[in-house]
């Protein structure tokens, strides 16, 4: 059994990418977009993402420029944070935070009767985050749109891929209609792993490795 | 826009579960299994998991008993670890670790020419882990099967849901054939979020809340 197992991670990735390329066939993505979509499929084994992933005009250039300036990144969950390549981000001078489990955020959410995700998002904006990775919380995405509309934040990148049956799809449609530099996966599907995969591919592009 | 957003997480979950129940319709799962499968669908919005998720006989009883004894849990990635409800696990007297990013694991993997996942798995076994959450690394799953076959570990639960195009499916089929107490999602799909979702539902069952 074990003799046939491929153990080299890079070789596994190369073979996986070849399989994905072959099974997807012709697609509408350009040479910067396709590696992003391919990595999402690699992360999920779900080819639906080839049909649902959408890029706002200029979003990759905006994201890469911000990453090369050493951007502050905010994620909506600790799973997204755990999935991000923090070594590569730090080499570019960037950093990432997630405030949803902060004790003070939880306390104020109870007091104010709003979701912790909303207050965690506001805290990230106050701290100067320019890149937002939202894999789960539609309420965080709606709050970001509200703050952007009010001129309180000008994101360089919003990865908006909440998953679910209540509010997720609507939040992604609102984001894509907002003209912010964003990458979304339309429909119900998405999640932490997808948010991290998209961002990690942009990190590879920005780092040029 | 914001007036219509549902912000109560429990209400969002209830509505989501009703939608999933209605869309899945009749299914082969019993009253302990279905909440597990439903949580996976809730986490992914992917109904394929209703057709791919399989339970070894007695696995839920085995898992719940181990959790109520305060089991040591090992995950293959930090994303799985981040997704697990550690508060609920700790209340049951359990703990969770992930060794894939340990410096000594990385160093020994380079020396020995094996994956970090294999050495991280071995370290968990040495530390007495009885529950294994494998969302990504087929090599970790194959190593666990080898150690179990050699009598070096007797898992109370293996959540075996590696995702991908090279080795993932084979590793899950080998697990399901092993007669270990396991939950698998057959085929290519799986991942960190799925592993955490399955385990979190078992935690709810074990905690009785």
- For the structural domain made of A52-207, what CATH number should be given? 3.40.50.10230
Condensed to tens digits (0 to 9), the pLDDT of residues A45-72 reads 999 999 999 999 999 999 999 999 999 9
The answer to whether B116 and B140 have CB atoms below 8 angstroms apart is no
pTM of the model: 0.95
Specify the pLDDT at position B1. Answer: 41
The Cα B106–Cα A1 span in angstroms is: 25
Give the pLDDT of residue A62: 98
The whole-number pLDDT of residue B112 equals 92
Provide CB contacts within 8 A for B21, sequence distance 6+.
Answer: B38
Out of A38, A42, A122, A172, the active site residue is: A42
CB atoms B191 and A193 under 8 Å: yes
Whole-number pLDDT of residue A7: 66
DSSP string, B65-126: HHHHT--EEEESSHHHHHHS-HHHHHHTT-EEE--TT-HHHHHHHHHHTS-HHHHHHHHHHH
Q: State ipTM.
A: 0.94
Given this model, what pLDDT does residue A83 score?
97
Contact between B5 and A163 using a beta-carbon 8 Å cutoff: no
- Annotated domain spans of chain A: 52-207
Which residue stretches of chain A have pLDDT < 70? 1-7
Nearest Cβ partner of B189 from A45, A82, A174?
A45
Report residue B12's pLDDT band, with 50, 70 and 90 as the boundaries: confident
pLDDT digits (tens, 9 = 90+) for B102-143: 999 999 999 998 889 999 999 999 999 999 999 999 999 999
Q: Are residues B146 and B175 in contact, defined by beta-carbon separation less than 8 angstroms?
A: no
**Contact A16/B at CB under 8 A:** yes
* Catalytic hit among B42, B122, B130, B189: B42
């Amino acid at each position: 059994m074990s003799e046939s197992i491929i153990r080299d991670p890079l070789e596994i990735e190369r073979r996986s990418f070849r399989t994905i390329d072959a099974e997807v066939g012709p697609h509408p993505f350009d040479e910067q977009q396709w590696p992003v979509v391919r990595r999402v499929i690699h992360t999920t084994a779900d080819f639906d993402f080839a049909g649902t992933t959408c890029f706002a005009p200029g979003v990759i250039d905006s994201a890469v420029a911000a990453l090369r300036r050493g951007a502050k990144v905010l994620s909506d969950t600790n799973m997204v944070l755990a999935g991000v390549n923090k070594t590569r981000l730090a080499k570019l001078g960037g950093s990432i935070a997630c405030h949803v489990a902060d004790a003070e955020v939880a306390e104020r959410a109870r007091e104010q009767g709003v979701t912790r995700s909303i207050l965690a998002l506001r805290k990230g904006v106050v701290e100067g985050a320019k890149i937002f990775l939202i894999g789960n919380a539609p309420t965080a995405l709606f709050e970001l749109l509200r703050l952007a509309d009010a001129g309180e934040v000008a994101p360089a990148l919003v990865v908006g891929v909440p998953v679910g049956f209540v509010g997720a799809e609507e939040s992604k449609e609102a984001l894509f209609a907002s003209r912010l530099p964003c990458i979304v996966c339309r429909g119900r599907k998405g999640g932490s792993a997808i948010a991290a995969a998209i961002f990690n591919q942009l990190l590879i592009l920005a780092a040029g490795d």
